[in-house]
Homo-oligomer: A and B are copies of this chain.
Amino acid sequence: MTLSQKTGLRETKRRLDRRVLYFSIKGNTLENKPVENCADLVNQDFCFTQEERDALYKTIFNRRDVRGQFKPDAIPDEVLARVLQAAHHAPSVGFMQPWNFIVIRSKETKLRVHQGFVEANEEAAKLFKAERQETYRNLKLEGIKESPINICITCDRNRCGPHVLGRTHIKTTDLYSSVCAVQNLWLAARAEGLGVGWVSIIKQQALKDALNIPDDIVPIAYLCVGYVSHFNKKPDLENAGWRKRLPLEDLVFFDQWNEQRNAEEDSLIKQIELDADFSEQFMQYDENALE
C-alpha cells in the first residue's frame, strides 16, 4: 500500500475519531490530563515558561522559505550578528563546528550565482511533464538579486583532522552539523522579522566557482536573507498546489520501520490526531498577509 492510499483511508477514520476525542475531552474522561509545562513533572528552574515555549513554536510554525517578498532595506549589523551567533550555536559532531559563513553583499557575486541558478533551473524545468512544467515555470524559486544579503554556509570536513569524535561510523554527520547551523540561522532570522530562502537549484561547481570555494569545502546552503513585505501563512509550494502537507500520524512508526498504530491502539497517535491543528493557533497574526 502506498503512503497516499494509506493517507486516504486514515483520513476518513481520523475525522470520525476526532469527534469522539473532542467529546471525551469535554467530558474529562481522558486518562492523561494535558501537561502544561515541564515544571509540572520536574521541579527545576531550567524549565521554560509557557510564553517562552509558545514563542519557540510560533517561530517554527511561521518560518517560511521566502523567494518573492524581499525588500531592499539594509539589515543592521546588530541583527545579522545575532543571527550568525544563533547559527554558530548549532550542535556539531565532536564539537567540530565545521561551518563557515560567507556573507555576500557584492552585486557582481550575486549576479554570478544568479547566472548559475538560471542555467540549472532551465535544466530542472525540462524534467517535469507538460502540465507540471508550466506550474514549475510560474514558481518564483529564488531571491538572489533582490535580497540585500546572501549567506553561503559551508562544511570544512578536515577542520579537526581525520578522526572526529562521533564521525567514525557515520561520515556525513559533519555535513549534518552545518545543516543544523542553517536551521538555527533560519529560525533566528524569522524571530528577527527576516525572510530566508534556500537556493538549491544550482550546480555545486557553479557555486564554488562564483565564491572561490576550494575543492575540499562543501557548500551546504546558499541563503537569501532580507526584510520582507509579508510572510505567507503556508509554504509557497503548498499554496501553488504543488504538494500537500502530509498527516504527521502517517509518518510515525513504533519500535520498527513501518510499524504503525491507530488512535484506538496508541495514545500518542490519538494525541497527534487530536493536536493536528496545533500549529494554527500560532498563525492568526499574519492572516491579512496571506496571499
Contact = CB atoms under 8 A, between A and B. Distances in A.
A123 B60 contact: no
Interface in A12-43: 32, 34-35, 37-39, 41-42
A40 to B, nearest CB: 9
A101 B253 contact: yes
A198 B172 CA distance: 14
B213 A257 contact: yes
A260 to B, nearest CB: 10
A271 B15 CA distance: 53
A106 B255 contact: yes
B103 A227 contact: no
A270 B76 CA distance: 12
B193 A46 contact: yes
Contacts of A221: 176
A166 B201 CA distance: 5
Give chain A's interface residue range (CB within 8 Å of chain B): 35 or more
A71 B230 CA distance: 43
Contacts of A251: 88, 97, 99-101
Closest 6 pairs (CB-CB, A-B): A38-B193, A55-B55, A52-B55, A77-B271, A179-B179, A95-B237
Interface of A: 3, 32, 34-35, 37-39, 41-42, 44-48, 51-53, 55-63, 65, 71, 73, 76-82, 84-86, 88-91, 93-97, 99-106, 109, 120, 123-124, 127-128, 136, 139, 141, 154, 159-160, 163, 165-170, 172-173, 175-176, 179-180, 182-184, 186-188, 190-194, 198, 200-204, 211-214, 217, 220-221, 227-228, 230-231, 235, 237-238, 242-243, 245-246, 248, 251-258, 267-268, 270-272, 274-275, 278-279, 285-286, 288-289
30 contacts: A32-B76, A32-B78, A35-B76, A35-B79, A41-B227, A44-B193, A46-B289, A56-B188, A56-B191, A82-B278, A84-B252, A84-B272, A85-B275, A85-B279, A88-B245, A95-B242, A99-B251, A101-B252, A101-B253, A103-B268, A104-B255, A105-B255, A109-B256, A124-B166, A169-B201, A183-B183, A187-B187, A211-B255, A212-B258, A214-B257
